[in-house]
Structure formats: structure tokens, C-alpha cells
Amino acid sequence: MRLEELSAAGKQQKLIRARSLTVNMASRTVVSPSDFVMDDDTGTVYGKSGFVDYGSESGRINEGRFAYKNFIIKGRVVEFNKSKYTYKKASITSCDEEPPHYRLRASRLYLEPDRYFLAYNTVFFVGRIPVFYFPVVYRPIGGGTPFVSIFRPGYDQRNGFFIKSSYVYRVNKETRAKLYLDYFARRGFGTGGELDFRRPEKNITSVSLYRIREYGVVRDRWGMNGGYWHLLNRFNESDPAQYYSQGFFRLLSDPKVNNDFFRTNPFAVSPDEQASMALTRKTNYTVTRVSAYGRETHTADFNRFQKANSSIPRLDFNTVPFSVLRLPVLNSFSGYFENARDEGMTYAQKRGEGAWNVSKSVPIIRHITLSPSVFYDQSVFISTVPGRNDVWTGRYGGGATLRYDRLWGSFDLGYAYKRRLRKNKLENDSLAADKGQEASSVSSQLFVMPRFNTYYKLSTSYDLREYFDASFIKRLAPVTAEIYYAPRPLVDIFASGTYSLSGGSRSFVTQINMGDKENYIGGGIANYSTAPRAWVFSNILGFRPWRGSGWRAETVLRYRLKSEGSFNFSDFKFFEKGITLYRDFHDFRTKWNFRERSGGVREFFFYVNLRISDPARKDDLEDRSREYWHPWRQEGEVRD
């Protein structure tokens, strides 16, 4: 049997097909005691039995199955009205296999077509195997607000089994909020969140918070980090200057908290805490900045913080190059004054410095330019100890750079001179051990770029100061060489080395990368004069096992070798080992991660990104926030 509902214009609005139908014209109800199919503009509904009340535009379906866009939603009982469906004992998937490869089973699910679905008390199944439990799952459909749920179960030696859940809510095109709810079997429950706001012409802000009270610990452990940039309003219409404020902070309850709970962040693992804030006035000619900065480092036992250095407050003033009396030279001034405390000191110092620079670029002949400059620098220390005098120290000097510039590159030959005056005197500090000669050197740099994918750089300098007696090789600064070569679009090679004729190799770094985003290999080697026999290796390999495979893998190995010469290595130590597996399914993306790192970090975790039938879309707000505030995060990562 077929029952059609037509609009006033004769257009079909609803079609019911069933083996038998009972229609009551008086109550405007339709009852189907057996299987039926109902089609309308929201989708197709299948049911074992049910009824429809046309008067109230509501109804009830037993054993209902709703095919809507890419979703298949089932419910033991489905109640609906003109705007919403309510599923009891429900499941949802986008897999059209029977049985489905995966599904979310919920005690109750609400669907508003073209808006959203919301499910409570859900369990995620792969086949017939329950994987884990979600309290709430929400997804917009059509005009809904973007909302993403991400779950990351895992295990590590310190915290035991854990599950980290992230809920990302796109408030509007400028604002994104994240909520973190975590459970650690050995430590307890942790909560946190992150807020990003980006309106580039007015405000850029990011704030992250996290706290946990571990089992058996009286005090909370917590971390806060973030920053902001805000353009302030002008004080009056006639003032052409720009005013803006900016700040940055990383505050911790103890030096170990980040390493215990946020191991993907190489900067957050740092045990230091710091904060800064500044107010800036910028005109077409000057930049004035008032700021405050403080940093604390960990004690030897890593249990508490100790003051390191601070600058509260500090005033900076800089000018853009300008001319005086129409003279054919450019002048610039930069200076600061601060109340500062240096690391290791128990008292603060009031100090400042100002430098006036005069420069000029003079074309000599074609391809050759001479750029001379002179300066005067004045520093001051204001005594904060009774009985001691203020100290004023002047410095003067200058320099010149001769540049030969061609299409293939350039060659620079420079000279720099700097002389110190006696304290509180306008005369050379000739009685000092260095005779006041702080700098006197010639330098050179060769930059060659024969093709767009290749460049070479070579630089060094030679010390001309007269106060000490040294041989040629000791006066010659270490020679630095740098090479970059990209023979093909998916291959690039970089090498950099610094070598001293008197002391041997000072540093050597090389990196080779090959491949695209899915199949790639990279390797790096580093050696420094601070540990001349130690060589640090870093290898990374990413691949898809075969073309069309749904799996992708990435391995990371970082280790240290100590060489005794002649390929004899006395010490071999891994400081990081890891493998990450990726697998994309219909409705979710998964990631399995195994990691071992120095400091006793051994963990395994995997996460499921439940963006049900939502294609991967580029999110400018997320990407900009990651680049600006969290550059260590990989693409797609929403938290540390």
C-alpha cells in the first residue's frame, strides 16, 4: 500500500509504503502494524511497526532505521515530531555494511535534521567488540556549530592506564574552545582547557590551563601557559600612534608537572617558568616599549623553583633611520633602562644603555657598494648600595662593509671597531688589561646561489686587537660553512660546519630529507665541541606499506654514540625511540603511538578522532594558533 501526503501546490511531502495501513480520517492518524518505509525531505525511515499523527506532526516507530545523508541511525523506539527525532536504545554509523564495521551505541540519541545529533551514554564498538565509553557525543549537521570529540587511551609507566578526552568547540570563526577530561589509573582525574581567539587587526590570544590532584597528594598540580597581543584604542583622534599590549606566560606548580603529563611538547617539558608583559607605542618614527619580565628555574632536586633573572620594569626606545639638517647620512637611536636582577645575584641593578648610529650606503661602481657607519654607546649603572657611586661607561666605534653583488650571489668584506672609555671619564680605558679594545676585526662572507635549489655560504673573521700577542691561527675565528641542495622536489640536503684552525671542529650538523607527506625518510647527525667525541643521530621514517593501504607508519630513533676513534664506539645510548601507526576509517581517524624517552618515559597510547563522516578540512584558526603559540604540535594535534 502507498499513502502520499501532498502540499497545497500538489508537491509530494511524505510517502508511506507498507504491507498494510490503517488510516483514521477523524483523528488524522495512520497505523502500520508491520514493516513500512517512510520518505520525506529529511530522509528515509524504515520500521517494524509504528504510527503517524498528522494533526500534531508526530509519531512513533518501533525498531526504526533512519538513513540520513551518510548516516545510518537505528533505535528500538523512535519518537519524532516536526523538528526532532528521539532514539531510545540507539546506534549510529556511516558504514553501510551489515553488520557495520563500527558503530556508536547510545542509551538515547537526539537528531535534528540539518542541525545536529546528540548522543548520551555511548559505547564505541569495532565490530562486536566494545572499545571504550563516551559520556556524550555531539556532531553538527549542516548549520550546526563545529564540535569535535577526540579520545586517546594509553598506558605509561608512571601514570598507568589512562584515557585523555578532548572536546573542541568552534564558538565562531574567531574563537575556539577546548575542554580536557582525563583519567589516570594510578594518579586520578585531570581537567583542563584551552581558548584561542584570533582577530588579527585587534587581538590574538591563547590560554591553556590544566590541573590534577594525584592520589595521596594534598596539593593540586597544575600548569598554565599562553599569551596575547591586543591593539589598544587611540587616546584621541589627533594622535596617529598605535598602542598595543602583549604578554606571554608559562606558570607551573612544580618543575616536573609538564614532563609527567605533557610529553609531546619539547618546550613545555622544560622545567622553567616565566612571564612577561609589555605596552608599546609605535609611530612612523619611533617605538617606545614598557615591559616586565621574570623567570624562575628549578632547584637541584627538581622540587621547587628559585628566582633566576628579572627585568621589572624596563623601558626601550628606538627610532627608525632619519636625517638631520638634510645631511646625506642616516641616523638612528636605540636605548633602554631597566631595574634588573641577573641569574645568581641576590640584588637588583638599575642600568641603562643608549646608542647613536650614523650610516650611509655609497655605490662605488656597478655591483659594488660601500656601507660605512659610526656610533657612540653610553651605558650607566645606578648604584643601589650605599657608599658606591654610579658608573657611566662610554664606547665608540664604527665599521664598514664592502659588498660585491651579482645574480649568482654576493661577497661581503667588513671591518668593525669598538673602543671603551674609562668609567666616568671621557678618555680611553688604556690602563685596562685589554686596553679598552673590545673589538677590532675584519670579516668576510661569501654567499653563492647558482640555482634556485642550491646555495653555499662561507664566513669567518680575523682579530686585529693589539693588546694581546697571538698567532695567525688563534686570531682567525672559526670558519663556518653551510650548504643547501635540493636536487629534486622531494629531496633536500643541508649541512653546516664550524672549524677552528687552532681548536679543530667546533660543530657539525647535517640533515637529509626525502619523500612526501606520507612516504618519507630523514636523517640527521650533530657533533659539538662541548662533547667532541659524542655524535648525536636522529632518524625518521614514514611510509604506507603499499599503495592504497589504509595504514601508515612513522618511526623515530634518536641516539648518541661516543667514539674512541677508528670506528670504535665506547658508549651507545638511545634517548628517544618511537613508532606511530595511523589508520583512517570511514567515520574516524586513529593513531597508535609507542614512545620511550630519557627520564623514564615509556608510554603507549592511541586516539580516535570521531569526526563522523566529516572530511578533513583545513581549519585556519587551528593552524594559525598552532603556528603562533604551539609550533611543536603536529598537524591535527589539538593538545600537548
Helix H or strand E encompassing 53? strand 49-53
User: Residue 414: which of 403, 425, 405, 430 has the closest Cα?
Assistant: 403
For residue 135, whether the previous peptide bond is cis, meaning omega lies within 30 degrees of 0, is no
Q: Residues 97-121: pLDDT tens digits?
A: 777 777 888 888 888 877 778 888 8
Q: Residues 22-79: pLDDT tens digits?
A: 767 666 777 777 877 777 666 677 878 878 777 777 888 888 888 777 778 888 888 8
Residue 322, all three cell numbers: 632619519
Distance in angstroms (rounded) separating the CA atoms of residues 575 and 559: 5
Residue 30, pLDDT score: 76
| Residue 107 belongs to some domain of the structure | yes
Q: Residues 201-222: pLDDT tens digits?
A: 999 999 999 999 999 888 999 9
Which residues are CB-contacts of 624 (< 8 A; sequence separation ≥ 6)? 198
Q: Please report, for residues 156, 166, 182, 218, the alpha-carbon distance to residue 213 in angstroms, rounded to integers and kept in the order given.
A: 18, 19, 12, 7
| Long-range contacts, 540-544 (Cβ 8 Å, 24+) | 542/515, 542/518, 543/518, 543/519, 544/518, 544/519
The sign of the dihedral angle between the CA atoms of 122, 125, 128, 129 is negative
Backbone phi and psi for residue 20, each to the nearest 5 degrees, phi listed first: -150, 145
pTM above 0.85, yes or no: no
- What percent of the residues of the chain are helix, what percent strand, and what percent coil, each to the nearest 5? 5, 65, 35
| Residue 540 belongs to some domain of the structure | no
Q: How confident is the model at residue 616 (pLDDT cuts 50, 70, 90)?
A: very low
Distance in angstroms (rounded) separating the CA atoms of residues 155 and 186: 10
| Residue 546 belongs to some domain of the structure | no
Residue 291, pLDDT score: 97
Q: How confident is the model at residue 264 (pLDDT cuts 50, 70, 90)?
A: low
Q: How confident is the model at residue 323 (pLDDT cuts 50, 70, 90)?
A: very high
Distance in angstroms (rounded) separating the CA atoms of residues 461 and 556: 39
Residue 127, pLDDT score: 76
Count of H-run helices and E-run strands, the chain: 3, 40
| Residue 13 belongs to some domain of the structure | yes
Q: Using DSSP, state whether 628 is helix, strand or coil.
A: helix
Q: Identify the weakest region by mean pLDDT among 161-165, 312-316, 399-403.
A: 161-165
The sign of the dihedral angle between the CA atoms of 464, 465, 470, 476 is negative
Residue 580, all three cell numbers: 606511530
Residue 297, all three cell numbers: 628555574
Q: Identify the weakest region by mean pLDDT among 303-317, 416-430, 514-528, 608-622.
A: 608-622
Distance in angstroms (rounded) separating the CA atoms of residues 130 and 123: 7
Domain CATH for 113: 2.60.450.10
pLDDT, mean of residues 527-550 = 89
pLDDT, mean of residues 170-187 = 89
On average, the pLDDT of the chain sits at 85
pLDDT, mean of residues 225-247 = 88
Residue 27, pLDDT score: 66
pLDDT, mean of residues 365-382 = 95
Q: Identify the weakest region by mean pLDDT among 98-112, 185-199, 336-350.
A: 98-112
Beta-bridge partner residues of 242 = 282
- In contact, 92 and 119? CB cutoff 8 Å: yes
| Residue 448 belongs to some domain of the structure | no
Backbone phi and psi for residue 475, each to the nearest 5 degrees, phi listed first: -80, -25
Beta-bridge partner residues of 383 = none
Based on C-alpha coordinates, what's the Rg of the chain? 34
Distance in angstroms (rounded) separating the CA atoms of residues 322 and 324: 7
Which is it for strands 43-47 and 36-40: parallel, antiparallel or unpaired? antiparallel
Q: How confident is the model at residue 18 (pLDDT cuts 50, 70, 90)?
A: low
pLDDT, mean of residues 1-19 = 65
Q: Residues 432-449: pLDDT tens digits?
A: 989 999 999 999 999 999
Distance in angstroms (rounded) separating the CA atoms of residues 520 and 522: 7
What is the span of the domain harbouring residue 19? 2-144
| Total number of domains in the chain | 1
| Residue 474 belongs to some domain of the structure | no
Q: Residues 448-501: pLDDT tens digits?
A: 999 999 999 999 999 999 887 888 988 999 999 999 999 988 999 999 999 999
Side chain identity at residue 112, one-letter code: E
Residue with cell 562486536: 128
Side chain identity at residue 325, one-letter code: L
Distance in angstroms (rounded) separating the CA atoms of residues 185 and 398: 65
| Residue 69 belongs to some domain of the structure | yes
Distance in angstroms (rounded) separating the CA atoms of residues 162 and 325: 71
| Residue 84 belongs to some domain of the structure | yes
Distance in angstroms (rounded) separating the CA atoms of residues 400 and 304: 50
Beta-bridge partner residues of 2 = 17
User: Residue 119: which of 131, 107, 128, 129 has the closest Cα?
Assistant: 107
Residue 247, all three cell numbers: 604578554
pLDDT of residue 605 exceeding 60: yes
| 562 or 95: which leads in pLDDT | 562
Residue 398, pLDDT score: 96
Q: Please report, for residues 134, 449, 517, 535, 578, the alpha-carbon distance to residue 511 in angstroms, rounded to integers and kept in the order given.
A: 43, 19, 17, 14, 19
Distance in angstroms (rounded) separating the CA atoms of residues 69 and 139: 14
Cβ of 322: how many Cβ atoms within 10 Å?
Answer: 11
User: Residue 493: which of 478, 512, 476 has the closest Cα?
Assistant: 512
Distance in angstroms (rounded) separating the CA atoms of residues 339 and 634: 39
Residue with cell 670504535: 568
- In contact, 87 and 78? CB cutoff 8 Å: yes
Residue 46, pLDDT score: 81
